[in-house]
Amino acid sequence: MGIMVYQGINIIFERNNADISAAEAHGMATGMLCVNGQAESAHWLEELFKDSVDLSDEDRAVLVKLFERTRELLASEAFEFDLMLPDDEVLLGERVQALSRWCEGFLFGVGSVYTSSGWPGDVTEILKDITEFTKLDEEAEGEEDESAFMEVTEYLRSAVLLLRDELNINTDGTVH
């Protein structure tokens, strides 16, 4: 997803005074869909805007499309899923901040849908890692930090797909 997509989505949140960034919103959608591949975009929009916002039909359509695209990419076997973050031209510190927010959104999204007690398999470890990523240092700069950022992003891509396999509840309520 390119920078235009990120900025375009971010503007919707700014325009509607949502206290959330595009990264956080995408993280939340991803978290919800990791737990329940049948999750409804309406539930996500409710969580994002707490019903206090009259989204224009156009904004709503763009966000629903993002949610559905995220669902498709998560379900795809082609490993196409990617985190929605600002493009590489954006300062590393800002990208790190967006990544932290994405992780916060993701954890919230998982928690808002997953109600069983106890996590299966490696889920606890992965969620601990993701929680650590919410505390990343936003003063990041230079090549070393740049490559660390890339590593974390790659790890998250894989972790999300692993969590999807571990957590996804089928429509009949059974787990894969």
The per-residue pLDDT for range 38-58, each reduced to its tens digit, is 999 999 999 898 766 788 999
96 within some domain: yes
Q: How confident is the model at residue 172 (pLDDT cuts 50, 70, 90)?
A: very low
Q: Per the structure, how many domains does the chain have? A: 1
User: According to the model, what pLDDT value does residue 113 have?
Assistant: 87
146 within some domain: yes
pTM comes to: 0.90
The CATH number of the domain holding residue 44 is 1.20.120.740
Res. 171: pLDDT tops 50? no
Nearest to 63 by CA among 102, 28, 111: 28
Please provide residue 19's backbone torsions phi and psi, each rounded to the nearest 5 degrees.
-85, 50
126 within some domain: yes
173 within some domain: no
* pLDDT tens track for 130-150: 999 999 988 888 899 999 999
176 within some domain: no
174 within some domain: no
Count the Cβ atoms, other than its own, within 10 Å of residue 85.
Answer: 26
172 within some domain: no
Q: Which residues contact 53 (CB under 8 A, 6 or more apart)?
A: 16, 17, 18
* pLDDT tens track for 83-107: 999 988 899 999 999 999 999 999 9
* pLDDT tens track for 4-30: 589 899 999 998 877 899 999 999 999
Query: Are 112 and 32 a contacting pair, CB within 8 Å?
Result: yes
